[in-house]
Structure 1
């Protein structure tokens, strides 16, 4: 049969009282009487045998100890107390014994009770019901004592198993301890833990099995055999029900389910769900898996205490599984945290190394800047002094020989003066380029229109040149001196390198999020595309309209100033189409 049993409802565990009874009495009449009395209660199903002497009874008990002994106190070869003593020596634990005597004797009755006799009856007062009641009570008492002893042993074993389960955090060890303990508790042939999927398919993840039966560990059950009237649905397990099948052939199971169980040689099966619950008491449990007991030798009637034991085992397994999974989660989280901490430590070391390299590079840069300053000062002094001498000599010669020099020589003296001025421009440009980015220039709030007016006033463009800009240019807090230097170079170049005496220069602006973009547009001769990058190099210049070369440092200084402030500079131009020099400048410095 198959039974779905709610774990909160007890089951009848009373076994039939059918048993074997041994009558030891030298009176054949008494033996016949006792037999007739006992057989009058045929529903109890007694199996009765008898002996005339104590020795005959002792030999019989050694071969097969009966469930109850009816013992006459006076026997031909011994008395009842001596018989009890010798029987104890031969078989150890005595079965329930009912002693009968011809005459009542309280002293004998007390002594018999000390030797383990369950009841003491006087033959002359004996009735069928009294004898049946005495035997029945002795059997029930014996069964209760046996059951209590078995339950005590089971509880002791269960406590030991739970202790093993509770002390482990390894899921595989927990499950193995559970199935080993469950098989020992139930005395069955196989116990398994079946890890369940929502559709009831799953895998056998742990097993304890006797050697003569086929192992099932690792087997995956995918057949959809859980259909029909006796289906093992998830809902039944969620309600805490167990499934007890004493005989799979008589349980009205589906054919494929019976076939599956037969592959594992199962004849009787007991199934208890392993339910996991969240911390919240209102949450619904989830079925993690099934704790299953197989009996393979024969069919088996599962007892209520066996169901309770397996159910308690499943509860402890559920707690241990949740703890193990929590520990795994914590270990995983800890491993991730340790990995992050290690990455942070590596990053700190990397930053420290970078800072060290940066410090060395900064020290080296300061040293190079100091050397550059010293070189610039030396170059300024050592180069400009001879240039001043050459310029003075050329000037003196021009004045002293003003009327005597031929025109050709006069032109050569003018050329010397021009070359001296060009050299001075190169030296001053080199000094300016070397100082870019190293001056401590304060930030002030200024309108771009004001900067442009000051620049144009300084440059003094020819009267025929028009420099235009919007009256709504932005106001910003910045290093205005450097921005003024950028505008001065770009506007000055637009005028200096224009191919006409009249021309137009326009300053445009555009908002680009955290940057302003300024563009200086002219209508001059333009610049060929192949020179667009070249002109930003130091000492690279184009001829002006007066054929005097510039220092070749102006655009290099512009680029250095703009990029040191986080901006960029570029040109858009073509021959004969003018030029548009653009640069970006941060809104806040």
Structure 2
């Protein structure tokens, strides 16, 4: 789209010539020229700064400068000089060459050009300049997008990227303010980056709560729509929206949504992260298509930067957590190393104590059992040598002596077995538990009147045969020994659990009062007088220790006069 309004500065000391040029240019159809006149080079310099014309008609011969001298002065004082058409009353080829070298766009000789010639020259030069400005603008826009893409790849700081973006866009569009706002989870806005011209209100850091705009406006931004307003008072905005724009002195704006990729919006209620906004505050503005496209492209680059920032933030959090975990693991490893050293030390000490205990047990067994054997032998010999010569009472006393000796021998043997539980390494074999139970029963030689039933579903398992045999032997032996009659009924069964088998040995004997259920598993504990039934009171203690040493449990269910059932679990 070509512009249809231009400002032209005529620098000529001839009022007649200035009037002629004005008259020629006003005949141009479709284009409006604002004509600014200056009689001298000095006046021309002043008005150039004030009005910033699009083109200069420059007389070669001025009262204070030649045209070439004025061009040199312009080049020294002004960064960007508008195109110049030089006018001269003399057709001097050398001057024309010098003028063209200094940057003059055309060289016309007064009195030899027609109004159409001047109009055509002015029109062509302005069109060329406009197209050239569009090319430069497009180049700057593409350069900005490329630089932003490079900055995004190189920078790890999202704030730096956002601040650079608003600064570059504000300069490129020559607008009064460019901001980036970020939505909160409640869809309010925080201004996180801003570039604003001096004299206009700053909004950086502002927290905007605008329910009117939030309820009606965000849906279209979530769909990726761009809002372009040339005049806020002619755009039929809601009253609350207009009040917000007036608060920041806005007369025209462009609003472009910043949309994140769906895979990176876990921390947001939608993929709408925020808005890229350009404000014109001094006047209304007709936004160009390329300006809208620039902001749209830049919003995509910003979305990439934000995604990258979110990823880096998550990676940093994960790295910090990993470092924290690694540090914790290192500390734990050091603790474990110390504990392991302590464990090895304790294990070595325990091994030494076990060896000492084994030696003590051997010595105790030897030193205590030897005298007991001597007493038993003496009692036997006395009975044999004095057979028929001593009274009945003395014979009972000798019999009682042998009984006490046997009990003491059993106590010593029981203590030795109890102390060895868990300290001796037992061989493991695959066994049929049903056959093992039957072997235990056979070894006890129960009275023929006793009926002992072994369940048919006994498992086959890999375990320490001697220990399991010792448990069944003790429980079955107790059921027979403490039964009030020579005939009775014993049942051995099993129930399968997740990691264990639960075995049960049930009898129909006297039963045990519940208040004694814990006591019977204590060492040296019996519920009947030792003289009534010979017992060391160690058997159930040994059974309990064997079961619990292998992570099992043992319990009893019984009521007085209703028999008893012993349950114990054994790991599969």
TM-score, shorter chain, exceeding 0.5? yes
Partner of residue 9, structure 1: none
* 1:169 Cα deviation after fit: 2.0
CA distance in 1, matches of 2:474, 2:154: 82
- Find 2:126's aligned residue among 132, 139, 142: 139
Task: Indicate yes or no: 2:257 matched with 1:261.
Answer: no
Any idea what SS the aligned residue of 1:252 has?
coil
Q: Is the 8 A contact 1:158 1:181 kept in 2?
A: no
Tell me the TM-score normalized by structure 1. Answer: 0.83
- Find 1:272's aligned residue among 248, 256, 276: 256
Partner of residue 429, structure 1: 414
Partner of residue 520, structure 1: 505
Q: Is the 8 A contact 2:251 2:284 kept in 1?
A: yes
CA distance in 2, matches of 1:346, 1:164: 41
Task: Indicate yes or no: 2:45 matched with 1:57.
Answer: no
Partner of residue 155, structure 2: 168
1:509-548 → structure 2 map (5 Å cutoff): 509-543=494-528, 547-548=532-533
Partner of residue 435, structure 2: 450
CA distance in 2, matches of 1:306, 1:393: 124
Over 3 Å counting, the alpha-carbon distance change for 1:359 and 1:195 in structure 2 is same
Deviates more, 1:148-157 or 1:471-480: 148-157
CA distance in 1, matches of 2:65, 2:426: 130
Partner of residue 385, structure 1: 370
Task: Indicate yes or no: 2:560 matched with 1:572.
Answer: no
- Find 1:117's aligned residue among 85, 92, 104: 104
- Find 1:418's aligned residue among 403, 414, 420: 403
* 1:129 Cα deviation after fit: 1.0
* 1:64 Cα deviation after fit: 0.9
Task: Indicate yes or no: 2:549 matched with 1:561.
Answer: no
- Find 2:212's aligned residue among 208, 224, 227: 224
Deviates more, 1:387-396 or 1:18-27: 18-27
Deviations 1:197-243 (A, max 9, x none): 7996543333344464153524133323378xxx756456745x533
Partner of residue 290, structure 1: 275
CA distance in 2, matches of 1:181, 1:414: 117
Any idea what SS the aligned residue of 2:448 has?
coil
* 1:550 Cα deviation after fit: 0.9
Comparing both chains, which one has the higher relative contact order based on Cα–Cα distances under 8 Å and sequence gaps of 6 or more?
1
Partner of residue 366, structure 1: 351
Any idea what SS the aligned residue of 1:18 has?
strand
Any idea what SS the aligned residue of 1:405 has?
coil
CA distance in 2, matches of 1:348, 1:477: 35
Over 3 Å counting, the alpha-carbon distance change for 1:232 and 1:500 in structure 2 is closer
Over 3 Å counting, the alpha-carbon distance change for 1:539 and 1:73 in structure 2 is closer
Deviates more, 1:374-383 or 1:174-183: 174-183
Over 3 Å counting, the alpha-carbon distance change for 1:203 and 1:563 in structure 2 is same
Q: Is the 8 A contact 1:543 1:549 kept in 2?
A: no
Q: How many residues align?
A: 562
Q: Is the 8 A contact 2:519 2:525 kept in 1?
A: yes
Over 3 Å counting, the alpha-carbon distance change for 1:129 and 1:523 in structure 2 is same
Deviations 1:72-100 (A, max 9, x none): 55668876556656676777876544334
RMSD value, Cα: 3.5
* 1:538 Cα deviation after fit: 1.9
Q: Is the 8 A contact 2:180 2:193 kept in 1?
A: yes
Tell me the TM-score normalized by structure 2. Answer: 0.85
Q: Unaligned 5+ residue runs, structure 2? A: 265-269
- Find 1:243's aligned residue among 204, 227, 235: 227
CA distance in 2, matches of 1:79, 1:353: 96
CA distance in 2, matches of 1:490, 1:422: 19
Any idea what SS the aligned residue of 2:273 has?
strand
Partner of residue 4, structure 2: 16
CA distance in 2, matches of 1:92, 1:541: 115
* 1:546 Cα deviation after fit: 7.1
CA distance in 1, matches of 2:506, 2:78: 123
Partner of residue 203, structure 2: 215
